[in-house]
Structure 1
Amino acid sequence: MRKAQSAVKSAADDKAAQLRALWKRYEHHCTQTNSCPSAGLRHDILQQIDRQEPLKKIMLSFPDCGPSDTVQPSLRPLLMALRDERYTHAQEFHIWSLSLKQKDIVELCRLLEKRGRTVYPFKSLELLDCKLTEGSLERLAKAAVISYLTTLCLDYTCVGPEGLKGLLSGGLGASGISSLSLCYCSLGSWSGALLASLLTNSSVRELYINGNELQCGGATELLKPVAENSQKVAEIQNRTTSITDETELISQRSNTASSRQKKAKSKGKKTKKKQEKTKSGHGAAGGPWLEKLHMCDNSIGGSGKEGLNHLNQFLEILCFIVKFSSCLTELDLGENHIGEDGGRRLLEALRERKEAKLSPIKIQVSTRMSTETFSAILKSAKELKSGKKRRKPKVQYKIM
């Protein structure tokens, strides 16, 4: 018992010693590079030392530093400290409001990649409000392909057409990224086709694009391949169900076999049916499918005669996905104005989804429709509370 307690205490002491060494090394590199250390990171490290736990979430931000300060913040001192101490406990890396140079991105990518003597198992990377060039985004995409990353957040970063093309040419679609967030990234209607290309045959299952300007045209282009894949999967499932029903009917008419044989056949059919159902799941047809789609505040509406036609096209594709996509769990259309007619069409799609016995989805829509339609939509689904903020979060850290 004493040996076990001693081992636990020794492990806790080692973790605390690692964190102290990491901070000292970080301060040293800040001094050498004439950079200011992050008070928030210091707070987190001291907190984890008190808890006797490793630092799994690295948050690097400098809310107290301004352009007039003589000592400016930098990412490189932290990257050098992590590499010097070979600190491999962290799994999340959050960097806020830093102007990252190409050298910074290259060093960050080297840390993420599964190369070198030490492998750093980061699964989540958030670059919030960081200035990134096309070359930086392309390099980041290449690193994601050979990393452990499953979540990538680039919110409040002005991506633009060339930046989005950089992510594509870097091979982001071939990475293991399953959750991609591009909220408030100045994406216009032009981005619909590029995002659709990124989604096709990729691992992305959660897409967050709140606060952009896709409008009806861009949103329609984005969802076309998703709708086509949903149709393929639905057709496969319908064929499987039809074949299974015919087999069961023939089996019921046959009364010549013994009861034991009937039970064995019934069990075999159930197993076969289950296997066929599994095969006809999300991966049965090639192409993209989404579990979570958040596209709040994207100027989707029917203003003007031409806009009404585009809105109808968007609603047709969206309702098709709602009716047939068995994997869809969340849909955020808040602050987009689909109107009363759009609300009714969406409500009908939700009812058809329920009749098909597909799992209910969490949904958010604009209140710019009748109270009856809005309430009926929320009754036919579950209300979704969006976790994405409209403005950049401002966090004040207490210096210890």
Structure 2
Amino acid sequence: MSKTQPSQKKKVAVLPGGKTPARKNLAAIKVHGLLRAYESHCMKMGSCVSTVLREDFSRCIDIQKPLTKITLFFPECSTAERASVSVCPLLCAVRDERYTHVKELRLWDLPIKHEDMADLCLLLEHKGRTVYPLTTLELLDCRLDHWALTRLGRAVALSSITTLSLDYTPIELEGLKGLLSGLEWSSHVLSLSLCYCGLGPWSGSPLASLVSRSAVRHLYINGNGLQRGGATELLQPLAEHSEQTAMTQQTTHPTDTANENSHQGLSQDSREKRVKGKGQKKRRQRVKRKSAGAVATGPWLEKLHMLDNAIDEAGPGATAAGVDLINIICVLVKHSSHLLELDLGENHVGEAGGKLLLEALIERRKAKHPPVKIRVSTRMSPSTFSAILKSSKELKSVKRKRPSRRKTKKN
């Protein structure tokens, strides 16, 4: 068999610095092609080239791995230069190169025009085109109007997105309804973050409809103004569903204390440890299967973060009929076996509310539900506050702070 002549070898792309990648490694070649296409489109459209994104491209080329997380923002741009900043060159480059390795797309503090939003939505939707399997979309402080939010909601419902974050984006009632209209019947969006979006008491009912009809299991609404009225409307269906589910389970599977104590050959302590260990393992597996399936709908949440929502004030939008928000929260804590995280920090529940919440945590432990991570304000007696912490797990915030234009971020 004759050997291949040198003149018959295929040409290999040359990377920056004169480096030639291995023939088997196509990741660096694809990233390099995406970088060239991005710079070319920036030049044609008169847009600034993000140095942060260029560094991410170069780093992936050096380590010869595909770029799976794209973060586009311009910390080095001044106010005058921001007029030439655009997301369109990046979207065009991804389409031209058919770059399907991106899993996470983060756009921070960018002016997104209607044309750019339309291009982004076409990239997300699965309608016979090249499928770009994006799972995380983050649009922070991008100033989206009603049309853009409505278009985005419809596109996300037809995409692979499981995590959607619109933090620091001012959203009014019509914009929220337009966004949620596309997400309400989604069976794959698991996490929604609307922190510091200016939501008021009017947002409680649309959000309650969302969690009742969609697969959203993680809801982050920190830094808004739901107050008691909006929080009550949001939590009411969650509490009612958890209470009804608990009553149904008790009726269908009544506890038989005689059978529980009929085990012989084991001491009381060892028997309790064994039963507790098996129960916790089964519950963890059940919760994990439900989270991974992402198809079950209904008014229940695993993570609810409501830090700093002014629910210590009655304010406008407070509900009539004397519905007590603390009692609703306690019902949710007692009976919801799905609830894993509850953030009520910087909201004044008071000493009386703290004691009710402590009793609910004790009842939850007796019901052998999974432990819940909880955070409350310190505006109560030290003894009640410490008892709540002992009866629950510590909750640490995982939300990212607002990006700064003066600092760069590495993937």
Q: Which of the five TM-score ranges fits, normalised by the shorter chain?
A: 0.7 to 0.9
Q: CA deviation at 1:169?
A: 3.0
AA aligned to 1:288 is P
Distance 1:217 1:41, change over 3 A: same
AA aligned to 2:23 is S
What corresponds to 1:10 in structure 2? 23
What corresponds to 2:10 in structure 1? none
1:376 equivalent to 2:387? Answer yes
1:237 equivalent to 2:228? Answer no
Alignment gaps of 5+ in structure 1: 1-7, 253-273
Equivalenced residue count is 365
Distance 2:321 2:200 in 1: 15
Q: More deviation in 38-47 or 326-335? A: 38-47
Aligned to 2:213, what secondary structure does the other structure show? coil
Show the 5 A alignment for 1:161-240.
Answer: 161-240=173-252
Aligned to 2:246, what secondary structure does the other structure show? helix
Distance 1:302 1:31, change over 3 A: closer
Show the 5 A alignment for 1:313-328.
Answer: 313-328=324-339
Show the 5 A alignment for 1:1-400.
Answer: 9-12=22-25, 14-69=26-81, 72-242=84-254, 245=256, 287-301=298-312, 313-389=324-400, 391-394=402-405, 396-397=407-408
Alignment gaps of 5+ in structure 2: 1-20, 263-281
AA aligned to 2:377 is S
Distance 1:198 1:215 in 2: 19
Q: Would the aligned equivalents of 1:302 and 1:338 in 2 still touch at CA under 8 Å?
A: no
CA deviations over 1:8-40 (Å, ceiling 9, x no partner):
95343x111111110110000001000001111
Q: CA deviation at 1:189?
A: 0.6
Distance 2:103 2:297 in 1: 31
Aligned to 2:23, what secondary structure does the other structure show? helix
CA deviations over 1:65-112 (Å, ceiling 9, x no partner):
123128611011000000000000010000000111111111001101
Aligned to 1:180, what secondary structure does the other structure show? strand
Distance 1:237 1:394 in 2: 52
Distance 1:59 1:176, change over 3 A: same
TM-score normalized by the length of structure 1: 0.84
Q: Would the aligned equivalents of 1:34 and 1:71 in 2 still touch at CA under 8 Å?
A: no
Q: CA deviation at 1:312?
A: 6.6
Q: Would the aligned equivalents of 2:153 and 2:182 in 1 still touch at CA under 8 Å?
A: yes
Distance 1:223 1:233, change over 3 A: same
AA aligned to 1:327 is H
Distance 2:379 2:259 in 1: 49
CA deviations over 1:245-282 (Å, ceiling 9, x no partner):
49979xx9xxxxxxxxxxxxxxxxxxxxx9xx98xx98
Q: Would the aligned equivalents of 2:187 and 2:295 in 1 still touch at CA under 8 Å?
A: no
Q: CA deviation at 1:396?
A: 2.0
Give percent identity, aligned residues only. 53
Distance 2:396 2:82 in 1: 42
Q: More deviation in 169-178 or 91-100? A: 169-178
Structure having the larger proportion of residues in helix:
1
Distance 1:379 1:395 in 2: 41
Distance 1:309 1:319, change over 3 A: farther
